[in-house]
């Protein structure tokens, strides 16, 4: 096997056609002023340098125009969310009318479940994964309770097989087929937050629809990470945040997808608000709510301009790089890191993320062959050395080499730093 080492990393970086994008981001620094190795884009993406300019332009418009900024700003605030739709649609594999930037992820999940979880006496259950991100589980359980039902009986949770970390796609579809007559909605992640497993969203959607269930995905760890084809997959709905791989900053605006099959389903129950009302009569302030067609019809309020502005900067970088080129580098970069870990630390580190390229994105989840306390100390030591990744209880370190701004040399250096921290944790 070809040795995976620093020389290999330098050669790969020298031939990286996306290398210039690193200069478009602010890089955190160590105490000595050198760039830190930032492998935490799965939690909070780095700041595009152009974000400050766009945000400052909106602040200046507010200062000089006041309320007239809704119409007279260089980017009129009235239609600001519409500027985000083309880039989001390209990343989601959707029509522009199927996506909208609004709210936050969990608020959007509640919006979608209000419309697409329609329990009947015969079909009232929701399928999620047992290790779902807590906010997703809280939202789903509360939606069941809001219908006067018992989450204890109406929530189906699927877990990996004993001794395994990832869910098998055949097990998901088998469960859907077995319990399908009682399932109203299937709600799963695109990429699992803890393990980094990328789900086969196309086949899950097909299995769910075959049993008459609606299906939605939490794409917090998927959008901007892996190519998506939500329209072609026929997914009913999806939700996401934009502060992870979409690099839009803490508290940035979220987004959602609603398939065009539902664009004119005005009879679907939904939470109503004036920004989702028909644009032609919105400012006439009519008494009756008339939703817009498409995903825009699920808006309730005008978006926060300051929470949306940085996303414009990031989407421009995604358009320049191209999601397919980013995916190719991601596969190479993550594969390189995995190969180095297996070569350098075969008995000290277990990679929980699936080995298959199709079943993972940027993230690798690592379990150290140490006690939880010792592993936590290793993570602290990595942070002290300027390697920024994150810790998930009880014993997982998550690292994500992001193709827009991380390098092969950084992956090589991280493995050497991890080896040193394993020998000398502080």
pLDDT digits (tens, 9 = 90+) for 52-66: 999 999 999 999 999
User: Could you tell me if 102 and 170 lie in one domain?
Assistant: yes
Query: In DSSP terms, which residues pair with 128 in a beta bridge?
Result: 157
User: Does 85 score more than 60 pLDDT?
Assistant: yes
**Number of compact structural domains in the chain:** 2
Task: Supply the pLDDT for residue 4.
Answer: 55
Encoded tokens for 350: 């277990």
Rounded Cα–Cα distance for residues 34 and 399 (Å): 20
Name the H helices within 156-200. Answer: 169-179
Which of 285, 303, 319 corresponds to the end of one domain? Answer: 319
Domain with 27, as residue range(s), is 6-35+322-423
User: Could you tell me if 371 and 298 lie in one domain?
Assistant: no
Query: What is each CA distance from 55 to 68, 155, 422, in whole angstroms?
Result: 17, 42, 42
Task: Supply the pLDDT for residue 394.
Answer: 86
Which of 319, 347, 366 corresponds to the end of one domain? Answer: 319
Name the H helices within 251-407. Answer: 305-321, 323-344, 372-385
User: Could you tell me if 145 and 284 lie in one domain?
Assistant: yes
User: Does 384 score more than 80 pLDDT?
Assistant: yes
- Residue 5's pLDDT band (boundaries 50, 70, 90)? confident
User: Does 150 score more than 50 pLDDT?
Assistant: yes
| Helical (H) or strand (E) element with 136 | helix 134-146
Q: Domain for residue 231, yes or no? A: yes
Q: Domain for residue 48, yes or no? A: no
Assign residue 278 the CATH number of its domain.
3.40.640.10
Percent of the chain with pLDDT over 70: 98
User: Could you tell me if 307 and 378 lie in one domain?
Assistant: no
Q: Domain for residue 167, yes or no? A: yes
- Residue 425's pLDDT band (boundaries 50, 70, 90)? very low
Q: Domain for residue 42, yes or no? A: no
Q: Which is nearest to 165 in space by CA: 340, 395, 420, 413?
A: 395
Q: Domain for residue 49, yes or no? A: no
User: Could you tell me if 293 and 252 lie in one domain?
Assistant: yes
Q: Which is nearest to 144 in space by CA: 116, 129, 125?
A: 125
pTM metric for this prediction: 0.96
Q: State the average pLDDT over residues 222-251.
A: 98
pLDDT digits (tens, 9 = 90+) for 247-277: 999 999 999 999 999 999 999 999 999 999 9
Strands 349-351 and 364-368: antiparallel
Residue 42 and residue 363 in contact, taking contact as beta carbons nearer than 8 Å: yes
User: Could you tell me if 188 and 223 lie in one domain?
Assistant: yes
Percent of the chain with pLDDT over 90: 96
Indicate the SS3 state at residue 29: strand
User: Could you tell me if 101 and 28 lie in one domain?
Assistant: no
pLDDT digits (tens, 9 = 90+) for 64-81: 999 999 999 999 999 999
User: Could you tell me if 362 and 409 lie in one domain?
Assistant: yes
User: Could you tell me if 11 and 75 lie in one domain?
Assistant: no
Q: State the average pLDDT over residues 149-164.
A: 97
Residue 139 and residue 132 in contact, taking contact as beta carbons nearer than 8 Å: no
Residue that wins the pLDDT comparison between 6 and 381: 381
């Amino acid at each position: 096997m070809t040795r995976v080492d620093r020389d290999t990393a330098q050669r790969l970086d020298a031939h990286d056609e996306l290398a210039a994008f690193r200069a478009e981001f602010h890089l955190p620094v160590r105490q000595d002023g050198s760039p830190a190795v930032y492998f935490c884009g799965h939690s909070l993406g780095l700041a595009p340098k152009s974000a400050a300019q766009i945000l400052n332009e909106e602040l200046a418009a507010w200062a000089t125009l006041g309320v007239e900024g809704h119409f007279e700003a260089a980017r009129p605030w009235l239609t600001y969310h519409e500027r985000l739709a083309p880039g989001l649609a390209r990343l989601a594999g959707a029509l522009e009318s199927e996506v909208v930037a609004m709210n936050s992820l969990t608020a959007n999940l509640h919006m979608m479940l209000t419309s697409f979880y329609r329990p009947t006496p015969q079909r009232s259950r929701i399928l999620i994964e047992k290790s779902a991100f807590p906010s997703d589980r809280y939202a789903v359980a509360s939606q069941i309770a809001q219908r006067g039902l018992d989450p204890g009986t109406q929530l189906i949770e699927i877990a990996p097989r004993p001794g395994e970390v990832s869910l098998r796609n055949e097990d998901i579809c088998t469960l859907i087929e077995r319990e399908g007559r009682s399932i109203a909605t299937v709600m799963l992640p695109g990429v699992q937050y803890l393990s980094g497993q990328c789900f086969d969203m196309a086949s899950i959607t097909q299995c769910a629809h075959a049993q008459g269930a609606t299906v939605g995905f939490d794409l917090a760890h998927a959008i901007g990470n892996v190519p998506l084809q939500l329209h072609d997959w026929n997914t009913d709905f999806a939700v996401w945040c934009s502060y992870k791989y979409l690099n839009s900053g803490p508290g940035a605006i979220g987004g959602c997808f609603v398939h065009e099959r539902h664009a004119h389903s005005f009879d679907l129950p939904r939470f109503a608000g004036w920004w989702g009302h028909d644009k032609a009569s919105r400012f006439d302030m009519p008494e009756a709510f008339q939703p817009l067609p498409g995903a825009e019809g699920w808006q309730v309020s005008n978006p926060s301009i300051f929470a949306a502005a940085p996303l414009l900067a990031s989407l421009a970088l995604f358009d320049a790089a191209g999601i397919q080129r980013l995916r190719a580098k991601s596969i190479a970069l993550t594969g390189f890191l995995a190969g180095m870990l297996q070569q350098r630390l075969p008995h000290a580190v277990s990679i929980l993320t699936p080995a298959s390229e199709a079943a993972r994105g940027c993230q690798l989840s690592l379990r150290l062959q140490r006690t939880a306390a010792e592993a936590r100390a290793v993570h602290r030591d990595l942070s002290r050395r300027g390697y920024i990744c994150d810790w998930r209880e009880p014993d997982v370190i998550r690292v994500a080499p992001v193709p827009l701004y991380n390098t092969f040399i950084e992956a090589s250096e991280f493995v050497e730093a991890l080896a040193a921290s394993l020998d000398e944790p502080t």
